[in-house]
Homo-oligomer: A and B are copies of this chain.
């Protein structure tokens, strides 16, 4: 048995998310099917660094698995890419120590969120951005994002119904950059972990701050109230990218 770590990019549009679900096309399902083809039927279980929802993209998702055989990493990369559909690309393959686990070994993650600002949805970006046609004062968002840095209770920013009790997370970086050529706004969040829907809720709240519908320091109030109803909005899945996982 050999232990592999693979880094991959995918367009989440036509997947029912990362995690295997019966009768649905999922990223994990496609990966495990390809591996079973390589092993001539021996099932291989793939661990991902975390789930991504339907429509959410990845620029650097990480998976790990134990493979019944000993293939050099470059051959694993080639073989897996030859079995991938056009919406998944394997970027890197490495042989790693047995105790490496894509999820449990992860120390941090970086997410990116693209917001298209045109009046109408751009047909060519509708699957790859969230759309916000209202006026924005980006300097207000920049100011607000500074309040996220550090260790906070993100109860107000987690989709309800989750099983995770500890909602304290540490954010190392939270930035927004204007890309005037594309009329885009790009958010990046780097932290030790993220709750379900957390990035999409943070983006929706940031946009309301930028639009003036919330106080610039509303994040501080939201940390204190610990109430999901107060943050409300969730930015669409199409703008979200899992950019990098840190080990």
Contact = CB atoms under 8 A, between A and B. Distances in A.
A124 B128 contact: yes
How many copies altogether?
A: 2
Contacts of A98: none
A44 to B, nearest CB: 22
A32 to B, nearest CB: 18
A9 B123 contact: yes
A126 interface: yes
A57 B87 contact: no
Contacts of A89: 120-123
Interface in A14-70: 57
Contacts of A122: 9, 89
A219 B75 CA distance: 40
Given A81-B120, A120-B81, A86 B10 contact: no
A186 interface: no
